[in-house]
Each structure stands twice: as structure tokens, then as C-alpha cells.
Amino acid sequence: MAHTERFIVEAGPSVPRAPNAFRYWVGRSILTLTGWSVDVRLPDEPKLIIIAAPHSSNWDFVYGLAAIFVTQLHFNFFGKHTLFKGPLGGLFRRVGGIPVDRTAPGGLVAETVRIFESRPQLLLALTPEGTRSRVTVWKRGFWHMAQAANVPVAVAYIDYKRKKAGIEWLFRPTGNWEADMRPVFEFYRTVGAKRPDNFAVEQP
């Protein structure tokens, strides 16, 4: 894995990869030109739910995607199943999209469990804020999914104060939302959003 002073990427052998020289060059070029760094250190976990915050600006997508390209890891995301039926369906799948039907029996949590059980490796990235607008109560879907699928949650960030993107640590949900999320919220309070007025975390 890549490991330079500016771009640190360490991951166990079971973590899914997506090596691509062109994407790596694009991501590295964007981050180098803008003065950003990456610090991702993952243990040997083949399946993870990754929560990413802050989500306050369209620029989050630019720097987040550039960081993903630099890691050369294979990330996935959920998309409405109808989006995958048209001509863009193949493109969505190639960039990591997974179609989900929120109306399926058992809802999205049951669908997530089924998807995790059907794959030997999966890094599923989610945004618990659910919107770029300011919210003071985060969606708990990721937490319920992780419990039901019995997978850890990785805490990812895009920090505009430090110009740094990465993954801070992992935790396994215990069934106590407040206890599980207290250190997560405390950490995110130290992270600088592109638009601070659009970012808030819950009070544990």
C-alpha cells in the first residue's frame, strides 16, 4: 500500500483493493496541488461500514473521491435500485454502486444484511447526516445495519482545517447508541467542515 509522508495508506490483506494507476495519479495530483493529505490505516477486516463526515458542501465529493483514488481500496455505496436500470446503471456499478430497494421486506437493514452475507469483502460508505444541510440528529441506519450484519464501523473524515482526509478508528456497536457514539461525536467536533454552518453533531 502507498505510504509516503503526505499519503499514508495501510490496510490488512483482507481489505478489498481496487488498484488503478490512472485514478491514483488523478487523486494524488488533485490532493498535492491543493495541499491535502491522506491518512488511512485499516486492520485486517474484509467487511466494514464506513461513516463519512462532515457532509456540508459539494467539495466534500471532490476531496473524498480524490482520497479514495489515492487509497486504491474498493469502496461501495448504496443507490436507489431504479437508478441502475437505465444506461447509467453500468457506470454506477463500475464506481462501486450497489442497487437497493428500500421497499423490500424487512427494509434497508435486512437488505444490507443480505448484501454483506452475499459478499466475501465489502467496504460500504455511508453519510449519516443524509444531507448537506445542517442536521442536529444523525440517521441511525448505519448503526442498526452494523449491528444486524455484525460488522465494525469505521469513522472517516474530511477535515478542511487540517486539509486532511482519512479514517480515524473502528468500533463495534454494543447496542447502546449514546455510549457507542459519544467518542465519535467528540471526535467530529474537532473536524473542520467546508461550511461550518451546515455541520453539527448530536449532544450525547
The pLDDT-based confidence of 123 (bands split at 50, 70, 90) is very high
Where b means 16+ CB within 10 Å and e means fewer, 33-72 reads: eeebbbbbbbeebebbbbbbbbbbbeebeebbbbbbbbbb
Q: Residue 25: how many CA atoms within 13 Å on its side-chain side? A: 3
pTM: 0.89
The pLDDT-based confidence of 203 (bands split at 50, 70, 90) is low
pLDDT of residue 201: 82
pLDDT of residue 106: 75
What Rg do the C-alpha atoms of the chain give, in angstroms? 16
Contact 10, 41 (CB under 8 A): yes
Q: For 17-57, how does the pLDDT look when each residue is reduced to its tens digit (9 = 90+)?
A: 999 999 999 999 999 999 999 999 999 999 999 999 998 89
Select the more confidently predicted residue: 83 or 112.
112
Cβ atoms within 10 Å, residue 89: 16
**Closest C-alpha among 140, 122, 132 to residue 184:** 140
Q: For 144-200, how does the pLDDT look when each residue is reduced to its tens digit (9 = 90+)?
A: 999 999 999 999 999 999 999 999 889 999 999 999 999 999 999 999 999 988 888
The CA–CA distances, whole Å, from 117 to 77, 80, 108, 129 equal 16, 20, 14, 26
The CA–CA distances, whole Å, from 58 to 27, 73, 133 equal 17, 22, 11
Residues linked to residue 47 through DSSP beta bridges, in sequence order: 122
pLDDT of residue 93: 74
Residues linked to residue 11 through DSSP beta bridges, in sequence order: 42
Cβ atoms within 10 Å, residue 1: 17
Over 80: is that where the pLDDT of 84 sits?
no
